[in-house]
Structure 1
């Protein structure tokens, strides 16, 4: 174990002691149940623009959140001071708040038998150089390389580099206190290109837990330049109904809407177009989505959720059929359904795919739209209506012809999911949903 890791480990153990103290204080104060959580992170973020240093920020954050329950009345407080007296004061404040809140039959902890008392080490922490010199070197090298790649790249919105490390600790009055170390690094570059009177902007980025797995500054720069230059001479297109490919880096948003539609909060509020859909065919029968929370070093891995519930590998969609909703303990009581370990979100959804890369998907589509950017929030999860601004490329005869902009794509998510024709093998690993590009049979395109 390195000195960096050892120091973080000691800090985490101290926080576990503080959590145990808070839970004991809550018990003494007469709480029927209590839970505490803290995510502490420290590191550096830097930004450069046109080869000059623009920002250098060192940051450290993370407060201990304390929630107590008194006969299903809930009170919460937080403190950044973990001294015994500060913790006692926060617990007292949470108990006082609980006296004034209304009783909620659904309030409380997740079931004791579902706690992750024995949880695995998922290798989510890696040592990193967090010096200002190193961070600035990465950002400056990326931007300077990008600016020298092509005369049409005339400006930059900057490059940024960040490196953060810390830990997460959760405990409750079931006797569970767990914690794990985690790290995250990122590098990005935003460029502006000009040809004649038209200017276009685009970017690229890399993110990983391990600093050694980040793409190099040169590669990020070259990807940003390629994306930006490709958008030059963008055109508007006529309104039409055509096939649409969501490129992998935006395709995850489609399945993000699925996450929202099957999440307990929207279900008990009856704010989802997928109510009463367990066992129903909502995707093509060749498509399966499996959740794998314990992938070593993955960005969305977690040994337990935000309620201490053990995470597990499970099939979300089996041959197109919905197998489970995503249920927290609160939603479970509202809906009379089992807890699924999704408090705080999903954990590495793997979307099944074929052997085709993006170029092969374009050939399969023949004529249609390749979407590379989405704008706006025109998605209604109550009825599934979908309408968002978009940009990308027009495809004819299976080949990209030119960039397009100022268009709107529209449809209904229920139909869009069922009309998925293929998923490519170009999986983007920078998100919690691991998917390749997605070809949809038909959508409405509003252009000229």
Structure 2
């Protein structure tokens, strides 16, 4: 399908295109920043053992930012021909002329830019043919459908494969690139008994196909998950401790990342606005951002502005050490650029407390709720107020008793963060946020 030689040749050609357009733009007394993203791959979906989708995709984007007298113009095109790229540049120039002056519109300092990008082993080329992909998803779904008589239907098994080539350059001499791959296998299944139907799913994501969980693991797990949700019960409105399972615990830290992003800080639209160098998590908890994990889902040798990425503590022993900044937000806040244009990289949630297995976490909680799915998005980042629908299981004496649905968990994120008591060792590897299950002290549960 996609051979390594072909991918590397394509990267080289795109890099030459970028070099050529930068040479063209250098004739103007302007500051230029530009990138090319070229992505290609395919998607296969099977439902009830029938092929529903075989989809090939190939997308390209050329984006250019022009800075002129503290004015900025941006333009983009999906046409990577030299003529189109020149016209895109001219459009950006015209936009810049008619834009307002903003003294924070600048390129990153040259000393921050990447020079020799590290090889982070983000590209793993496996020539998985369409027929192989079809067999993979058919087998995954078949294992689920045959798992138990309670399994009655399927939401589909899906295999996704993509390659991305990223080129970046600017008028300060930057011209760098890297390639990455992404594979995923997922399966959604439906179970039924006399009380009704329930659905659940399982999935695996990796940059290396050989490290994906296989059909047997994903098929059985999705079926098992769907069956265990049958015959859910309602509970009374109350306050209870909860455990957020490792497949959803990352969501809390994504809310944290959003609340400390530069744009929300300089717009004064975050409940953590005055929290820099203050305690926001328990003192046994740290967050290390490591963009250089080999093969990591959040690994990058440079950010979206070409700034070299580096390891740093976001939170150290509970203390917030930095905002998440790109060049513009760092200028607005008069702080150092943190190399986070485009968002966060790999976050490792470090537990300096005693380590516990997931089973031990249930025992420690004793009585409460295990939350396995969150619904809706009732988060107000300005106040920190948090309210989301939830699905899970009632736990008593450290043992799961019965499934629960129709509940809402609510509170304030600032309090929720500080009320994290323990993190288990069952780390979810399907995300750039590496976190186990979280035990959170009593939280409001809205039931019946």
TM-score normalised by the shorter chain: which range applies? over 0.9
Aligned to 2:130: 132
Aligned to 1:376: 376
Aligned to 1:404: 404
Question: What's the CA shift for 1:82?
Answer: 2.7
Aligned to 1:201: 199
On the 8 A contact 1:350/1:433 being kept in 2, the answer is yes
Aligned to 1:332: 330
Counterpart pick for 1:108 among 100, 106, 109: 106
Counterpart pick for 2:317 among 309, 316, 319: 319
Counterpart pick for 2:268 among 253, 260, 270: 270
Question: What's the CA shift for 1:41?
Answer: 1.2
Question: What's the CA shift for 1:307?
Answer: 0.6
On the 8 A contact 2:195/2:231 being kept in 1, the answer is no
Per-residue CA shift, 1:194-213, capped at 9, x if unaligned? 01141001100011111101
TM-score normalised by length of structure 2: 0.97
Per-residue CA shift, 1:217-241, capped at 9, x if unaligned? 1110011011101100111111111
Return 433-442 or 104-113, whichever deviates more: 104-113
Question: What's the CA shift for 1:76?
Answer: 1.6
Per-residue CA shift, 1:45-73, capped at 9, x if unaligned? 01011000000001111211111111121
Question: What's the CA shift for 1:3?
Answer: 8.3
On the 8 A contact 2:39/2:58 being kept in 1, the answer is yes
Is 1:9 aligned with 2:12? no
1:2-401 to 2 correspondences below 5 Å: 4-30=3-29, 32-353=30-351, 354-401=354-401
Q: How far, CA to CA, are the matches of 2:317 and 2:115 in structure 1?
A: 33
Q: 1:142/1:3 Cα in 2 relative to 1: closer, same or farther (>3 Å)?
A: closer
Unpaired runs of 5+ residues, structure 2, are: none
Return 83-92 or 295-304, whichever deviates more: 83-92
Q: How far, CA to CA, are the matches of 2:277 and 2:86 in structure 1?
A: 48
Q: How far, CA to CA, are the matches of 1:81 and 1:447 in structure 2?
A: 53
On the 8 A contact 2:3/2:127 being kept in 1, the answer is no
Deviation beyond 6 Å, 4+ runs, structure 1: none
Q: How far, CA to CA, are the matches of 2:203 and 2:37 in structure 1?
A: 25
TM-score normalised by length of structure 1: 0.97
Per-residue CA shift, 1:262-317, capped at 9, x if unaligned? 11010001000111212101111111111111010111100110011111111111
**Cα RMSD (Å):** 1.3
Question: What's the CA shift for 1:37?
Answer: 1.1
On the 8 A contact 2:60/2:80 being kept in 1, the answer is no
Question: What's the CA shift for 1:80?
Answer: 2.9
Q: How far, CA to CA, are the matches of 1:120 and 1:281 in structure 2?
A: 34
- Classify the secondary structure of the residue corresponding to 1:55: strand
Return 363-372 or 36-45, whichever deviates more: 36-45
Unpaired runs of 5+ residues, structure 1, are: none
Q: How far, CA to CA, are the matches of 1:200 and 1:265 in structure 2?
A: 40
- Classify the secondary structure of the residue corresponding to 1:409: strand
On the 8 A contact 1:287/1:319 being kept in 2, the answer is yes
On the 8 A contact 1:51/1:143 being kept in 2, the answer is yes
Count of matched residue pairs? 446
Q: How far, CA to CA, are the matches of 1:51 and 1:6 in structure 2?
A: 35
